Chain A
Amino acid sequence: MTDTTHTAPKSAPKPPGRLAEFWSYFKENRGAVMGLYVFGAFVFVALFANFLAPYDASAQFRDFTLLPPVWQEGGNWSFPLGTDPLGRDMLSRLLYGARYSFFVGILVVVIAATGGILIGLLAGFAPRWLDTIIMRLMDIVLSFPSLLLALVLVAILGPSLINAMIAIAIVLQPHYVRLTRASVINELTKEYVISARVAGAHLPRLMFITVLPNCLAPIIVQAALSFSSAILDTAALGFLGMGAQPPTPEWGTMLAESREFILRAWWVVTFPGLAILFTVLAINLMGDGLRDALDPKMKRS
């Protein structure tokens, strides 16, 4: 079959490639680039936590419980960021915690995006009655505050990190469905789709090869944003005791464990929260940069 989609003819002089063009917009946004660096560091820590961490995340040093960070009186260079109530090294636990947040983010986004894109494509191409049913279903899911629905789902499935991830993915999915469907409907009115249809492209080809690539920009932005909300919501569930269970060094769970010590040992509370904040902030900065670079409306302004 002949290629009927509108890929630019190869002979035409097209100075910057898509990626290069994107990068030139992206790098203008200094915040976004900074976010990218921080995110890079976060990924690095997540991948190599076992080499970077001085101790095992659950190793307990009973003689050194609630040791303050090194710059405070009583601190010890063996535990640069201090120890928690069980004498575990804060730094090691934080480094290992990056691993959980990172994999939670990736998995939740992959599950939510795959499901959401498929359903959204279906809704966009489907006859009107099916579209209406799908969108009403999504409205129903969106009627529940996300954290509450996730909490209740976890109550049904049982508290664990995996179940928290499933719950959050379900809750985030309707956003992808709505975005994909809206872009698909918008694209369907364009001439290249009509020409592909006339040329006899079958439905799957039309869906995945002709239309989908042109809908990806807002979905990519949404992916960045839901990466950060996945991290936040998992931490919130962990904090409420409904996510990762102790002694998992997940940042939200670490906060929950140290709550009773907040007035005695500021560091056990401050560092896990800072870790969450920095990671989420970096991803959101990146997301803003992505949006500005990918959104054609904003480009010329």
Chain B
Amino acid sequence: MLRYFLGRLLTFIPTFIGVTLISFAFIRVLPGDPIIVMAGERGLTEERYQELSRQFGFDQPILLQFWDYLTGVLQGDLGQSYVTKKPVFDEFFTLFPATLELSVCAIILAIALGLPAGVIAAVYRGKFFDRALMSTALVGYSMPIFWWALLLIIVFSGNLGWTPVSGRIDLLYYFDNTTGFMLIDSLLSGQSGAFTSAVRHLILPTIVLATIPLAVIARQTRSAMLEVLSEDYIRTARAKGLSPTRINGLHALRNAMIPVITVIGLSVGTLLAGAILTETIFSWPGIGKWMVDSIFRRDYPVVQGGLLMIALMVMIVNLTVDLLYSLINPKIRHR
């Protein structure tokens, strides 16, 4: 057990170095001279160029440069944004709560709807419910979510006027950024209507971001349930005369959960990719929009640092899922 844990932790190190290497290489493979790009100054003199080259450490051997970058990363130094001149690391954590809030809401919605949908489809296998739910799931799975977002805006913001088009809260509310989570901050502020406004801003982005994970969870739950339902111990439970609810809910679902949890863990990458599109469309001030804006502004340290931070998050989540999985499922760790 411990050996599996340590082994899995050890594989994290080369992957971490590799990911850092990719983001290190990023700024060096950009078209054009990185020093001129990084300086962002017009008409560089030869002297100034040399000075900048020293300042950025470009005059050193490449391995040493990488070593400096790696140690910097470990100390939370990701460089400065060209545009805001603030440290990239700080900017990331200022914006991250917005993305986290949206992602958590989306994954809750996806699980709350996807899990029951998958169970129902499996229990009514081949019947109407199964077909209707699984067809819907496949449509969700195939959905171009950027288009889906626009459709929802046309219907709910345009025609019905129920939800706002963009942002996290109405401009007339202003309060301190205590936790960075709008739902909590708006409650803490005690202003009437602030919380409702925050919720109304959250609804459409949450639906959009939840769509694909929801479909994936529903499909995965169904197939895991089907597999479990054909096991002998389920037949035994039936023969004992247990109620179908008890069998499906307790005996089957619990064992079907193992692959489902993995899928939920793995959908973090999907969520972050989806956040790029969702946040851009709804002007949601999170990591995804920050990355897209920075790419357009050619704010390369931000792109570089953001890329690294996001990859690290995905890696940490995957590692956690793997370790949890080995705790639940003894088959894995004795491989």
At the interface, is chain B mostly helix, strand, loop or mixed?
Answer: helix
Q: Which of A149, A158, A259 contacts B150 (CB 8 A)?
A: A259
Residues 115 to 164 of chain B near chain A (Cβ within 8 Å): 135, 138-139, 141-144, 146-148, 150-151, 153-154, 158
A136 to chain B, nearest CB (A): 5
Q: Is the CB of A143 within 8 A of B142?
A: no
B209 within 8 A of A: no
Residues of chain B within 8 A of A280, CB atoms compared: 142, 144
| Bound-state Cα–Cα, A146 to B277, Å | 13
Name the residue of chain B whose CB is nearest to the CB of A157: B31
User: A266 contacts which chain B residues (CB < 8 A)?
Assistant: 154
User: Is there contact, CB below 8 Å, between A140 and B276?
Assistant: no
8 Å CB contact of A262 from B153, B272, B310: B153
Residues of A with C-beta under 8 A to B141: 284
B31 touching A158 by the CB < 8 A rule?
Answer: yes
Number of interface residues of B (CB under 8 A): 45
A147 to B255 CA separation, bound complex (whole angstroms): 33
Known contacts A145-B273, A235-B144; decide if A281 and B139 are in contact (CB<8 Å): yes
Asked if B144 and A140 make an inter-chain contact with CB atoms under 8 angstroms apart, the answer reads: no
| Contact partners of A228 in chain B: CB under 8 A | 142
User: Is A126 interfacial (CB 8 A cutoff)?
Assistant: no
Most buried by B among A155, A240, A255, A270: A155
Q: Which residues of A contact B153 (CB under 8 A)?
A: 262-263
Of the candidates B14, B147, B280, B312, which one forms a contact with A273 in the assembled complex, judged by CB atoms under 8 Å apart? Answer: B147
- B19 touches A (CB below 8 Å): yes
Interface-central residue, B30, B148, B273, by most chain A CB under 10 Å: B273
The interface bits of chain A over 123-165 (1 if a CB of B lies within 8 angstroms of the residue's CB, else 0) are: 0000000000000110110011111110110011010000000
Residues of B within 8 A of A139 (CB): 11, 15, 18
Residue-wise interface mask of A (225-245) relative to B, using a CB-CB cutoff of 8 A (1 in contact, 0 not)? 000100010011001111000
Tell me if B311 is interfacial: C-beta within 8 Å of chain A: yes
| Contact assessment for B18 and A145 in the assembled complex, using a CB-CB cutoff below 8 Å | no
Q: CA–CA, A148 to B302, complex, Å?
A: 13
Please, which residues of chain A bring their CB within 8 A of the CB of B247?
Answer: none
Task: Decide: A277 and B144 in contact? CB cutoff 8 A.
Answer: yes
State whether A284 touches B276 (Cβ < 8 A): no
Contacting A at CB under 8 A, from B230-272, are 230, 269-270, 272
With a CB–CB cut-off of 8 A, which chain A residues contact B296? 241
Q: Is the CB of A284 within 8 A of B138?
A: yes
State A255–B147 Cα separation when bound (angstroms): 8
Q: Which B residues touch A269, using CB under 8 A?
A: 147, 150-151, 154
B218 within 8 A of A: no
Shortest Cβ gap from B229 to chain A (Å)? 11
Contact A232 to B144, CB < 8 A, known contacts A137-B18, A148-B307, A152-B26: yes
- Chain B residues within 8 Å of A285, by CB: 138
Q: How far is the CB of B286 from chain A (nearest CB, A)?
A: 13
B292 on the A face (CB < 8 A): yes
Are B154 and A136 within 8 A (Cβ)? no
A276 within 8 A of B: yes
> In the complex the two chains form, what is the Cα distance from A280 to B311 in whole Å?
27
Interface residues of B in 26-52 (CB under 8 A from A): 26, 29-31
**Any chain B CB within 8 A of the CB of A187?**
no
> What residues of chain B have their CB less than 8 Å away from a CB belonging to chain A?
11, 14-15, 18-19, 22, 26, 29-31, 135, 138-139, 141-144, 146-148, 150-151, 153-154, 158, 230, 269-270, 272-273, 276-277, 280, 291-292, 295-296, 303, 307, 310-312, 314-315, 318
Closest 9 CB pairs of A and B: A273-B147, A145-B273, A140-B18, A147-B273, A280-B142, A281-B142, A143-B311, A276-B144, A263-B158
Q: A232-B142, A259-B150, A280-B144 given. 10 additional CB < 8 A pairs?
A: A139-B15, A140-B18, A140-B19, A143-B19, A148-B273, A151-B276, A151-B291, A242-B295, A273-B151, A281-B139
